[in-house]
Amino acid sequence: MALLLLVISFALFYFYMVRAKKGAEISARTFPAVAAIPEAVGRAAEMGKPVYYTTGLGMGTLNNPLNGPQTLAGISILGHVTRLCSRNGVRIDYFTPIVDSLPLVEETMRTAYLMEGNPEGFDTNHIHFQQDQSPYLTASLGYMQRERPASNIMLGGFYYESVVLGEAGNTIGAMQIGGSANTHQLPFLVATCDYTLIMEELYAASAEIAGDPDVLGSLKGEDILKFVVLALLGVGFLLGLANNATLINILRM
């Protein structure tokens, strides 16, 4: 049953992606956090300060089913932010404890500078790696105190570092944009950041930034699936009231 649902989901995404590519109009609401990214970079340019960017602990590896995609989504958006920084002459410092993301990040940032016609602007010394959560946190806190970045962008799989980095950013008066799909960190990100991407908004943000119509089509497919889930919940609720476990048994097959 799970495989069938997976196939149906993929088919739905593909259907709407093809429709969108053929010209069907699909509109997605603008995420305030995404719209605020140029503002954050602009603020850094005005103040002559760098931008701090991190994708969080992410359980220390890309090879993690829940956090790996969050890190990758954060890296997708990193490309966009790096391009904006290059365009505005702003330094961007990327901090990570995820060792297997380093080649990917390097390539993303290098390509971003290249696409802006500024290949010499890329410096690998702006990619800061510290193995494990505590050294990464200490390094980030020290960086914030020394460099006092104008903007903090924290998008990825976060753990307790979200509240520490968020508060440290508030201490130095940085503009903060955060986002994670880890439910346990959402309250801290919402409390400490000026703009937040919540749960699937983190994944959808990279789609919005890409602006490809077929990518937006997948968001439509996602929304249709949500209606399907709602319908299942409704039917399940009514069956549950009648003490009928048919739907549960079907879903457990």
Instruction: Report the residue from 56, 74, 149, 178 that binds another protein according to the rule CB under 8 A.
Output: 74
Nearer to another protein, 210 or 239 (CB): 210
Scanning the structure block, which residue is given the tokens 């949500």? 226
What is the spatial distance between Cα 106 and Cα 28, in angstroms, rounded to a whole number? Answer: 31
Should residue 181 be labelled a site residue for another protein when binding is judged by CB under 8 A?
yes
Give the footprint of another protein on residues 192-251 (CB under 8 A): 192, 198-204, 206-207, 209-212, 214-215, 218-219, 221-222, 225-226, 229
Give the footprint of another protein on residues 125-164 (CB under 8 A): 125, 127-134, 137-138, 142, 146, 159-160, 163-164
Should residue 104 be labelled a site residue for another protein when binding is judged by CB under 8 A?
yes
Instruction: Report the residue from 191, 236, 239, 247 that binds another protein according to the rule CB under 8 A.
Output: 191
Number of residues that bind another protein (CB under 8 A): 94
Least distance in Å: CB of 99 to another protein?
Answer: 4
Binding segment (CB under 8 A) for another protein, from list 25-33, 36-44, 107-115, 235-243: 107-115
Longest dimension (CA), the chain: 69
Scanning the structure block, which residue is given the tokens 């991407």? 197
C-alpha to C-alpha distances, 124 to 50, 55, 61, 248, nearest whole angstrom: 15, 17, 20, 52
- Kindly provide the b/e burial profile for residues 78-98, where b requires at least 16 CB atoms within 10 angstroms of the residue's own CB: bbbbbbbbbbeebbbbbbbbb
Residues 220 and 27: beta-carbon distance below 8 Å: no
Nearer to another protein, 88 or 133 (CB): 133
